[in-house]
Structure 1
């Protein structure tokens, strides 16, 4: 009898797209009016179902629209996306997405996600070039000798550093580049591939969940809620510290169990295939020569430059992609790789991540289906009404679950903030809690669901590591439950302090 295999990431996303297309036939279409700021003219554009009108950019007009956001949040560029106007929801003509729209959605998603897709492909080419030079193998051999007996330090360092990146500037999509580099190092330390996957992905997720200075999450959400982004930051620092500690202990506990007995690995049946794909043995004959050290330094510099550019220079995917492309060319020159060989190796390396790129595109297509069906605002309208009459403890935990559920449909943190905060944050006034608690519930709800959200980054990450979604769920669900109970306790205590 043949065993039924769990579907691939691509198939899971296609199934989700199909279900969402069906949902557009059931959920009524609806829209909130929106408001956007024109910096050149210093005016607002109010867009409703039938028309767009320009009004003066004044605090008085914001107050008339019941938008409790200071004018300077718009004029200084903190809020650059259109926001929803409270109490303006209207049902509109239904736009159900049929078979043709469903078929087109992955292609539309690939086109719309071209920026991150090209980044992934260029990173794949860079990884192929650096592997060709044997710099990785030599570096791994050196690192394995240096950390002998203290391999757990890798888990602490990687998880902590990625969490810091997540909480400060929203390190998320960029972590796609880390997996091919770090997996061989963890395999050489006698861990399985689940350990580096967890260290990177969980580190990013807990960091973004407890964002402190992240402009794409805590800052834009606070601005859209009409409060200073430093409001509630102490609580988020405490959540970040304790949450990261819980995650590190969870990963180390699993890693040590696998190291003592490899058969305890959740992906033990894939052990040979993964080790063959990534390499797991150290080559003692390889010396870390000056040239190989220089190659590794350039490689590391690519990430340092990328992180600096994103956090300080307002770079995004175009600039990041250029950095990795130039890094590959520089490494090819230093490694004395011939032009024909360079092109062949680079293209082959990019091809290794083509499956990941397609997954990213299909995930974008799911969001496009929902937006075209105009059900996002409807879901938000019903979610905001569901909290009427609740006491503050029940209310804040309801908001946690509402944001977790909404993030399945709206995985973008900045998109979620500008769409929901003008609607949700005034609800805090009615139950007698600070609006920063809505910002916290938004971050924690989205962050917790991000650990398993198939419309987010997890399926693309799993595709790189060659691990199935079902195996990931088996590994991560106990941690998600622990963090959920911890988060609910923190939120409940916070609203009564």
Structure 2
């Protein structure tokens, strides 16, 4: 009976968590009034501004500074004509309530299907990645590499954790490295576990490196640059302050991870996931035997070199702003084909191994699609603009220090409903940034509050990347919350204090 009781108390799977949130999001569309801002975008072909009102009616205007001034959009016309702002922006003071658009049972059922269709580019990338990991695992390359790396880092294992986390944070702060890190878990999990750590340490090193980097972005074109453009300022404003904040936040995070990792290394029973460790080790170290030294021969070295060489190419492609998931999928598909030839497997064995590896990540890709379904339901319910209208009303004429901190909190809430960093920036900045003028603050403070607020919520938001990550490493959401919530509180307080300092020095 006690075993049955224990089973009933188990935390639900990632899919169940997402479906619960999906239902709650649908209920919100009945409670939160629907409303829309008029939107403006630039039509480069005709050199015109196009405005869509809350009724969906389109009007065109000359693409001039006078048009923007008349619409109370405090931005330079070159931000649009020069291509800095490519997405539709909300026009201040145009919010209108519209007829409620509640999302019922049919919408809830259809949303995951639409979510899968909407995120198919990411899903293809993850499936190809799974196929590559399957191939590399079967060649024994990872086992040989793990053994070699474990010998090299013996007694200095945390240096690897710090190195990985800092490197990923640099990617996050410069070009928004996030979804791409999914490729690293199958590689680093066995190394971390073989070094005496648990899966939580691996997740923290990779996911928090990315999260801290993107939260404290310095020059990230997908967040800071777009938000600064939409706020009418240069992204260089507040840059030194953001760099200092990033370094301090990364130091806090590494100290937190180190203290946990040290406890786990001293006694595995200190692990938050102690009861799951045997299962996780079986998954990631099932063929790894420290006594059985697998030679790191030329074939395995070449396979690993081909695989690892894809990452700087991917980083170059993404950072130039021209690549996204289709291009990254093409890159890794080419890598998969090369590894098939290098593996020494027969054609049939190579293809079947690739397919089996892809099949292992089916759960991960479906979670990505279901997470997107939540945003689809809220978008169709027309409540995102209403939330922006309410939040902007809250912070009008506040004290400057309080204004910045409250903005961060409000952006963290908005970030749950609008998980796209560029989408939230272009939607909210034309509304939020001018409010800084009313309290005598630089608009750079608003950009910082936006970035930190959205990034802070990403530590735990189920509509983001965390549930797909946890599914990949076989850790439940409640265990992650137990680990991350204290750090989230520390980083939240740190960010709030730094924002107050920002309002004083800028």
> Do residues 450 (structure 1) and 458 (structure 2) align?
yes
Unaligned runs of 5+ in 1: none
Q: CA RMSD in A?
A: 1.0
Corresponding residue for residue 302 of structure 1:
310
Corresponding residue for residue 352 of structure 2:
344
- Choose from 189, 206, 216 the match for 2:212: 206
> Do residues 388 (structure 1) and 396 (structure 2) align?
yes
- Choose from 6, 22, 42 the match for 1:37: 42
Distance 2:190 2:52 in 1: 52
Corresponding residue for residue 170 of structure 2:
164
CA positional deviation for 1:14 = 0.4
> Do residues 244 (structure 1) and 263 (structure 2) align?
no
In the TM superposition, what whole-angstrom CA distance separates every residue of 1:262-299 from its partner, at most 9, and x where no partner exists?
A: 11000010111000000164354211111111110001
Distance 2:499 2:289 in 1: 46
- Choose from 450, 469, 473 the match for 1:465: 473
> Do residues 174 (structure 1) and 190 (structure 2) align?
no
CA positional deviation for 1:212 = 1.0
- Choose from 28, 31, 35 the match for 2:33: 28
Distance 1:47 1:105 in 2: 25
- Choose from 184, 190, 210 the match for 1:184: 190
> Do residues 64 (structure 1) and 62 (structure 2) align?
no
Paired residues in the alignment total 497
Distance 2:176 2:248 in 1: 19
Structure 1 residues 237 and 73: CA distance shift in structure 2, 3 A: same
Distance 2:164 2:130 in 1: 21
Q: Retained in 2: the 8 A contact 1:29–1:93?
A: yes
CA positional deviation for 1:388 = 2.3
CA positional deviation for 1:496 = 2.1
Q: Secondary structure at the match of 2:101?
A: coil
> Do residues 117 (structure 1) and 123 (structure 2) align?
yes
Q: Secondary structure at the match of 1:79?
A: coil
Counterparts of 1:229-308 in structure 2, within 5 Å, are 229-279=235-285, 281-282=289-290, 284-308=292-316
CA positional deviation for 1:338 = 1.3
- Choose from 67, 77, 85 the match for 2:91: 85
> Do residues 227 (structure 1) and 227 (structure 2) align?
no
Question: Which ranges of 4 or more aligned residues in structure 1 deviate by more than 4 Å?
Answer: none
Q: Secondary structure at the match of 2:51?
A: strand
In the TM superposition, what whole-angstrom CA distance separates every residue of 1:414-465 from its partner, at most 9, and x where no partner exists?
A: 1110110000000000011000000000011111111111111111111101
Unaligned runs of 5+ in 2: none
Q: Secondary structure at the match of 1:55?
A: strand
TM-score (norm 2): 0.97
Distance 1:24 1:283 in 2: 59
CA positional deviation for 1:199 = 0.3
Distance 1:60 1:126 in 2: 55
- Choose from 375, 378, 381 the match for 2:383: 375
Q: Secondary structure at the match of 2:59?
A: strand
Q: Retained in 2: the 8 A contact 1:129–1:349?
A: yes
Q: Secondary structure at the match of 1:480?
A: helix
